[in-house]
Structure 1
Amino acid sequence: MSAQILALPVAPTPVSDVRDVVSQGLLHIHFQPIVHMAEGRVFGHEALIRPQSPSPWTTPDTLFAAARQCGWTIELELECLRLALQAWARSAERGWLFVNLSAEALIQALMRDGLERVLRQARSAGLPLSCVVVELTEHEHVQNVDAIQQALSMLRRYGGSLALDDFGDGRSSLRLWSELRPEFVKIDKYFIRHVHETSHKLKTLRALQQLADTFGSRLIAEGVEDADELMVLRDLGMDFVQGYFLGRPQAQAVDALPQEALDVLGNREIAVLPQDRHASNRGLTARTLLKPAPSLPATATHDEVAALFNRRPDLHAVALVEGDRPVGLIARKTVQDLYLRLYFRDRYGPRPCTLHANLNPLLVDVHTPVEQLTKVLTSNDQRYLTEGYVITEGGRYLGLGTGEQLVRAVTEARIEAARHANPLTFLPGNVPITLHIERLLDNGQDFVACYADLNHFKSYNDHYGYWRGDEMIRLQAECLTGACDPRRDFVGHVGGDDFVLLMQSADWQRRIESAVAHFNRRARGLFDEAARAAGGIWAEDRQGVQRFHPCTTLSVGVLKVGPDQFHRAEEVASAAAWAKHLAKQSAGGIHLMDGREAIARLNQQAAAHPLPG
């Protein structure tokens, strides 16, 4: 019986306090790889704590929450640091080790000599601290920057480095970046998630890269979870990446990447970067239309207004104000016409000008984006074209604007916006098309440049009207984008019915043939029944001659571009346009042109039409 009793398992000591988790050795270290993007190798690892059973706290977050409740957070953080350094000293894979430490823990550890003690222990165990990076967490709460600077001086004296963790998740991070000059900055995963689909995140990353160059830091993109995100980060030239797609936290450090990650890093295709899908010009406001001009009180007489116009021949109108609030507008032409009337000066000259003023003028706040003023152009009240409008700030009078300025500004804004995104299809315009061609040329790999437009579209547009013409162009965009792989193929809208496709898909030919067939079939449905039965419509051609036009179809000129065949985006565009010209003459609507053939044609054209010397 006694032997049986001795053989019974010993019950584990109950865990009721965070200190028990430490004393019973229930904290284990896991390592997650950090990858050097350009070299395609594991650069280092982040040490992550994992509580083990029978701990009642199953995640690091719940464990540290319990530590905060009992006032033992600093001790727990230092214990995790000690365990990480100890495990790394035993690891066969060295490289760089990233360890987490809150700003408060770093300061308190310095005051208690705890941090220095841990660092001495690690160095005595044979761990070179030149490969240790302290990730500063919760840095958005830092109040005592001087204390942090002292702690960092000691850390760097031992050979260690600093990283700011989760950058972008706190309000004071940029100031700390400037003052602490960390060797590494880890970008919060919010900016990485779906970066291949979100243009504002892409712009944020580019801005952070400029900051990193300014401050001498290297960036680490956290939270990479799929191939599309990794490909965009690779093309951006991100320094380092980390995330589940590159390796999950595990008990042992690794020296190799998952094959799917290696495939992305070794792939020579370029990513199709996300574009703004709306035409806008956010930086342009009504301030650009402001013309400083004197005002008159609402009690001013016709004679006082006429006298001001005589003194200021540059004024097209005068605003009438009560205090600093505009209440009316009277135009120069109105006053001129009034004073041409017989006896007007004698009868109305001394009387208030509000009798003939516009007491409901157009008021435009100075901060209004110009794009919003397009609604003014289509309003029922068109008096602003002659008498202009009043520009205010917070309701206070600032000056005047003219209808001519407004029309010009809106037109220019629309033209500039259309260069970036076509307002009809919201596809990328000329500027993004050019930039993508340049990226493809710089990449030095094969790709296909396609120029697509419609046959007999003008006759359709003239016959049915622009509204249905726009519907036809939207169908063209739908068929072209639907046939492309959004990860590999770029679709841009030059304008009208002209589209450009820049394709890296291996099955590009099948995709183009599918787009042409799909469009040609669906486009017939946009004609009325009689036209479908006849196979087309009677309409005037470009010379004004009435003739029969077949139903609208799609033509695509295809240019195969090889490495080092073209050096400028304009050359590729010109050659693809020539291929499109030949496609419109072919029966099948598709013409394939090799890059060498295109270069020969371009050289012939250059010889036939040399530039003036």
Structure 2
Amino acid sequence: MSLSTLTRSAAPSIEELITRRQLSAVFQPIVDFDGGAILGYEGLIRGPAGSPLESPFALFAQANAEGRVIDLERAAALTCIQAFAKSACDGKLFLNFSAGALRHLATARDDALALLRQAGVEPERIVIELTEQSAVLDINNFLPVLAALRTAGAQFALDDYGTANASMNLWVRLQPDVVKIDRFFIHDIASDPLKFEAVRAMQHFANASGARLVAEGIENEADLIVVRDMGIGCGQGYFFGRPNAQPARAVADDARQAIRAGHIAVFPEATRTVSASPSGGMASAKMLVRAPSLPRRATNNDVLDLFNRLPDLHAVAVVENDEPVALINRRAFMDRYALPYHRELFGKRPCLLFANASPVVIEKSMTVEQMAKLLASDDQRYLADGFVITDNGKYAGLGTGENLVRAVTEVRIEAARYANPLTFLPGNIPISSHISRLVDNDAGFYACYVDLNHFKPFNDQYGYWQGDEVLKFAAAVLADVCEPTRDFLGHVGGDDFLILYQSEDWQERVLRAIHVFNEGAQRYYAPEDRLAGGIHGEDRRGNSTFFSFVTMAIGCVRVEPGDGSVMYSSEEIASVAAVAKRRAKQDPTGFVLIDADESAALLRGQLEVNHDTRN
């Protein structure tokens, strides 16, 4: 007999564990972010300490093998209720039940309520968590037992929401009081824009349905503050405490301080770049011309008749089985037909005779960057002929070269408002949004406007490509002196950047950025210019001037936390920061801080100017 067989045979059965009362309960706190109090505890079951069945995974695997899952769940709930009652803890007790266990409760409602009342824990303090949602085959079977539990005072929660088995269908049908967001979506949410967007969608639906959200799996301060600032009210995870047989009565000091942290989270949506290949759906919609097509069997006379009936049609596509096979340009076709005897000679001939059999084809889903490559390619036929637009390979319509240029340009300009296409840093809209969040929450911060001295002469001398490399270097230096969960870095445009600092050592960071950039920028000059200390060029008036190396200037203003009575706009704050930047460009150190009193005066002045302008 093998050792593994002996181990299995020596292990007690689930029935023996229940009979001998060898199950124990541990509790993990669920924290209310409003004040940092413990809202309640999730009760979790453990097997005999040090045994192969100590973990809940091993326990339920054994129960499943023995066909005793429902019995184990019932015993686990009773164990948690009794231990919770003995602990004399305040708050609610969250109990896990699978769909199978709830179906069993549905057949014995009085017994279920008696279970909840045992050991002196009132049903009003119980929250039933549905864990095994994949087994919910007939929701109608659950509605009566849920109604009975709610009538008795208990609440109902969906657990692990966002996993494959937790669907919005269940949320709508069961109308839970609480929805616990699966830890997958919370872990690293501070740096993952897709998780952030997924949770924000859950939050919107929770607001509409009236459900309370609990973020599971919070393990660090950064994730906590993002979740807190999103407006999610409760959290659970190792950051607040691990499961323990002796429940914590209060949140630990470090966790409480994190909940009450004065700085505002930098949402990952703000640092998210617009994809280097954004969807071309919007661009294709802008340039799509709905136009009739002709079949392969059509004659040149058919083409002539179509162009005569539709004088604004620049081309016509030849289509077979809904797929484009050729393109006939109006101007080229009509020029040929204007020649003597061409209509008589070629009018009844197939239209493919004068067609372009390899037209430029743009799929409707093509990315904007793929479209942009056409603009830079050697194949410029689309400028004269136009091109065909397809939807999943099927003919959808036509486009012109002019419309392609306009569509790509408009999409890129719109994208640049959200993220700069060179540095991929947040653009003006995310900058304004983050300033508004800081002001709305009365958070004190430093607005630091960054500019590069002598950048234009460098750009003129070395060209845009090398100028772009300097801008990307500046962006990398600035990003390196920002704490991404506290400090927001945006690219206003050109060589202008804006940092919204909440880090306490912000000034040290600013001075380090100036030093690192000023030294590193010199490597972008030719050796002879480095020896000369700069370059010769023309100033804005056309006068020959010597320009020293490109350097960084940063002007900063302090925006004090307020009482909410004065609300400055992002434009007003950026305007005053620009004043500081202009002073910094004249300062030999490249750094100027406008003190709090002058900052407040300048902000009030800008507020009055904007008020007078609007009126």
Confirm or deny: 8 A CA contact 1:536 1:550 kept in the other structure. yes
Call closer, same or farther: CA 1:484–1:54 in 2, change over 3 Å.
closer
**What is the Cα deviation at residue 244 of structure 1?**
0.4
Cα deviation code 1:183-215 (max 9, x no counterpart)? 000000000010000011111111111111111
Q: How far apart, in 1, do the equivalents of 2:224 and 2:30 lie?
A: 13
8 Å contact from structure 2 (residues 81, 118) kept in 1 = no
Query: Matches of 2:528 and 2:516 in 1, distance apart?
Result: 22
| 1:225 and 2:223 matched | no
Name the structure 2 match of 1:585: 586
Shift, 1:18, TM fit: 1.4
TM-score (normalizing by structure 1): 0.93
8 A Cα contact 1:26 1:53, kept in partner: no
2:515 aligned with 1:517: yes
Deviation at 1:294, TM superposition (A): 1.1
1:534 deviation in Å? 0.9
Are 1:422 and 1:429, in contact at CA under 8 Å, matched by a contact in 2?
Answer: yes
Of residues 285, 291, 294 in structure 2, which corresponds to 1:293? 291
Map of 1:431 onto structure 2: 429
AA aligned to 1:477 is: A
More displaced stretch, 49-58 vs 447-456: 49-58
Deviation digits for residues 483-538 of structure 1, max 9, x if unmatched?
Answer: 22222211111111110000011111111111101100111111111111111101
CA deviations on 1:257-294 (whole Å, 9 max, x unpaired) are 12221111121111121132234543626344322211
Q: Deviations over 1:32-67 (max 9, x none)?
A: 000001121101000000111474313111110111
CA RMSD, Structure 1 to Structure 2 (Å): 2.1
The answer to whether the 8 A contact 1:284-1:370 is kept is: no
Answer whether contact 2:23 2:48 (CA < 8 A) is retained: yes
**Residue among 139, 156, 160 paired with 1:162:** 156
- In structure 2, relative to structure 1, the CA distance for the partners of 1:520 and 1:370 (3 Å cut) is closer
What residue in structure 1 maps to residue 262 of structure 2? 268
C-alpha distance in 1 between matches for 2:228 and 2:139 = 34
- Note the residue ranges of structure 2 that are not aligned, 5 or more in a row: 1-8
Find 2:305's aligned residue among 307, 318, 332.
Answer: 307
Q: How does 1:252-267 map to 2 (within 5 A)?
A: 252-267=246-261
Residue 60 of structure 2 is matched in structure 1 by 64
Q: Which residue of 2 aligns with 1:9?
A: none
SS of 2:169's equivalent? helix
Q: CA offsets per residue over residues 369-413 of structure 1, 9 Å max, x none?
A: 444322222222111122211122232222212222221111111
Cα distance in 2, alignment partners of residues 398 and 562 from structure 1: 56
2:193 corresponds to 1:199: yes
- Counterpart CA distance in 1 for 2:142 and 2:81 is 21
The count of corresponding residues between Structure 1 and Structure 2 is 599
Preserved contact between residue 448 and residue 499 of structure 2 (Cα < 8 Å): yes
Aligned equivalent of 1:29, options 25, 31, 39: 25
Match of residue 183, structure 2, among 189, 196, 203? 189
Contact 2:82/2:118, CA 8 A, preserved across alignment: no
In 1, distance between residues paired with 2:439 and 2:485?
Answer: 18
Residue matched to 1:533: 531
Identify the match of residue 325 of structure 1 among 323, 326, 346: 323
| Structure 2 counterpart of 1:593, one-letter code | I
Alignment pair present for 1:360 and 2:358 = yes
Against the structure 1 CA distance between its residues 607 and 155, is the aligned structure 2 distance closer, same or farther, given a 3 Å change threshold?
Answer: closer
- Relative to the length of structure 2, the TM-score reads 0.93
- Aligned ranges 1:71-470 → 2 under 5 Å: 71-111=67-107, 113=108, 116-123=110-117, 125-171=119-165, 173-274=167-268, 275-279=271-275, 281-282=278-279, 284=282, 286-470=284-468
Match of 1:49 among 45, 50, 56: 45
Q: Does 1:555 align with 2:556?
A: no
Residue 219 to residue 289, structure 1, CA distance change in 2 (3 Å): same
Moved more, 44-53 or 404-413: 404-413
* Structure 1 pair 591–54 and aligned structure 2 pair: CA distance change class (3 A): closer
Would you say 1:611 and 2:613 are equivalent positions? yes
Q: What SS is found at the alignment partner of 2:179?
A: strand
2: CA distance, partners of 1:224 / 1:555:
39
Are the structure 2 counterparts of residues 53 and 549 from structure 1 closer, same or farther at C-alpha, using a change threshold of 3 Å? closer
CA 1:212–1:609: 2 relative to 1, 3 Å: closer
Structure 1 residue 599 displacement after superposition: 5.0
1:542 alignment counterpart = 540
Using a 3 Å threshold, how does the CA distance of structure 1 residues 273 and 612 change in structure 2: closer, same or farther?
A: closer
Shift of 1:307: 1.8
1:355 counterpart SS class = helix
Q: Residue 577 of structure 1 aligns to a residue in which SS?
A: helix
Percent identical across equivalent pairs? 45
Tell me the amino acid that sits aligned with residue 222 of structure 2.
Answer: D
- Aligned equivalents of 2:538, 2:297: Cα separation in 1: 61
Q: CA deviation at 1:602?
A: 6.0
CA-to-partner distance for each residue in 1:109-163, whole Å, 9 max, x for gaps? Answer: 322x2x6325314425332110100100111331011111112112112211100
